[in-house]
Amino acid sequence: MPLCGFNATMLKGLTLFAQGLYEQAVKRSENDGVDVKTAMEIEVHEMNVFLPALDEEYEELRKTQGVDESMRNLVQWTKQHKKEK
C-alpha cells in the first residue's frame, strides 16, 4: 500500500478515467481521421490546457472555504461551465 493512502476506489476511478480517455481518443481518431496515438496525444494536451484553469478556480475557492465546500463548488462550477459550451 503506497504511503499516500491510495485505495481500491481510487484505482477504480483511475481505471474509469483511462477507459474514458481511450474511448474519446478512438472517437477523435475516427472523427478527425488521425491515428489513435495522435488522437490520444491531442486529448492529453487538451486536458493539460484545462487543468491549470481548474486549479486556479479551486485555489480561489479554497481561500474563502474549507476543502470539502470548495470541492463541491468546483464540481458545480464545472457542471455549469460544461452546460455553457
Q: Is residue 2 part of a domain?
A: no
Give the C-alpha separation, 59 to 67, whole Å: 10
Q: Is residue 53 part of a domain?
A: yes
Q: Is residue 3 part of a domain?
A: no
Domain that holds residue 80: 8-84
- Contacts with 70 (C-beta within 8 Å, 6 or more apart), sequence order: 58, 61, 62
Q: Average pLDDT of 54-64?
A: 73
Domain count, the chain: 1
**CB-count exposure of residue 39 (10 Å: 0-12, 13-18, 19+):** buried
Q: Average pLDDT of 67-73?
A: 75
Q: Is residue 47 part of a domain?
A: yes
Q: Is residue 18 part of a domain?
A: yes
Q: Is residue 55 part of a domain?
A: yes
pLDDT band at 62 (very low <50, low <70, confident <90, very high): low
User: pTM value?
Assistant: 0.58
Q: Average pLDDT of 19-47?
A: 95
Q: Is residue 1 part of a domain?
A: no
User: Is 12 a residue whose pLDDT tops 50?
Assistant: yes
